[in-house]
Amino acid sequence: MKRCLTLLFALVLALGLVACSGEEDTAPQIPAGTAVEVMTVTRGDLAASSTVTGNVVANRDVPVMPPVAGKVKEVKVSPGDAVQKGDVLFVMDTADLRDTYDTLLTSYESTKTMMDEQVRQAQQALENAQALYEMGAVSRNSVEQAQLGVMQAETSRTTTLAQMGIDDVVDVLNDPNVYATIDGTVTSVAVTGGVMTSNTTAGVVVSEIGKPQAVVNVSETLQPFIAVGQQVDVTLSTSGETVTGTVASVAGAVSSNTALYQVNIDLPEDLQVSIGMFATVKFLTDQRQDVVLIPSETILTEDGQQYVYIVTGDAAFRVDVTTGLVGASQTEITSGLQGGEQLVVRGQTYLSDGATVRIVEGAEE
């Protein structure tokens, strides 16, 4: 019985050893080397750009002023309304103007009589000077001075009487409506029904938007890269739509208010936009063709020297590079790479020169 137990124990021990040996044989092995992803270095074109935000403006703003100072009876439009040439914008109140007209007419007639007399006297002085000149009593210069006096008197009469605005008052009394002078969109209304208004400031502004523009202000570092006729990408804030615009003008001097240069960009004529909306403009500042390009994030820097890692076989090697133009996500390499190399694009921060690597799934091989 003792012998049987000894044999059974030996059998169990042997089976246990076999089982342990099997577990060791099937345990996963950790691959050697640092895991990296790579891509093949290629050549291509690269452009650097600068983005500036501005506003959409009308191609032309036309202020419409009341013909005379007076009270506004009714306003017919609001900002944003589309109008056509000849549409009524607002109506003047003629009740007060009739009293104004009577007073103004009396003053006008008195002023006209006085200035007519000044012109008559100047003409009489000219006739006298011409008669004396023919007699040899005065020089030709005296006649010329008398002629100048007539011209000054006539100009003064015309200007003074026009400034009194009697004709404008008569026109308003005959037709109190104030009309749009172009087709467009009302962008400003400064008059109010029942309130006095001046004839020296715009009551309504009508903007012509058949050919809208984007206006931006750029710095002195960007201005030299912009030229009339240059095409640019313009992104509209409300729709997110990107359209092609054409630079219409570039200011040659900075604005005294902003210390920036104003740039006007023509937008497509059929573009549906609202005056005042934001517009983002992208200007190309430099371009390169058929150059070595790599992702900017793959470039490392140590002591001022830029470098990358490339994979050859199962090892990664440091390559010092010189960079050129920097784009949105890519950088031009002017020395160090020629194209075709296997560039480490992920895991490069864990490497040292000559380190063993393994290319992981998803990498370009």
> Cβ neighbours of residue 290 under 8 Å, at least 6 residues apart?
43, 44, 45
- As given in the structure block, the two tokens for residue 337 are 């790479």
User: Looking at residue 269, what is its pLDDT?
Assistant: 79
What pLDDT was estimated at residue 44? Answer: 93
Q: What is the pLDDT at residue 210?
A: 67
Can you give the pLDDT at residue 23?
Answer: 47
Confidence at residue 8, expressed as pLDDT on a 0 to 100 scale: 45
CATH of span 66-92+176-208: 2.40.50.100
- 292 in helix, strand or coil? strand
pLDDT digits (tens, 9 = 90+) for 138-150: 899 998 999 999 9
- Name the helix (H) or strand (E) containing 147: helix 140-164
pLDDT of 301:
95
pLDDT score recorded for residue 172: 83
Strand, coil or helix: what is 187? strand
Q: What is the pLDDT of residue 5?
A: 43
Q: Please tell me the predicted confidence (pLDDT) of residue 335.
A: 95
CATH fold of 35-46+289-359, please?
A: 2.40.420
Letter for the amino acid at 277? M
Tell me what pLDDT residue 350 has.
93
CATH of domain 51-59+209-287: 2.40.30.170
Nearest to 217 by CA among 308, 158, 283: 283
Q: Provide the residue type at 15 as one letter.
A: L
Per-residue CA distances from 316 to 321, 340, 364 (Å): 15, 15, 15
Which residues in the chain land under pLDDT 50? 1-24, 363-365
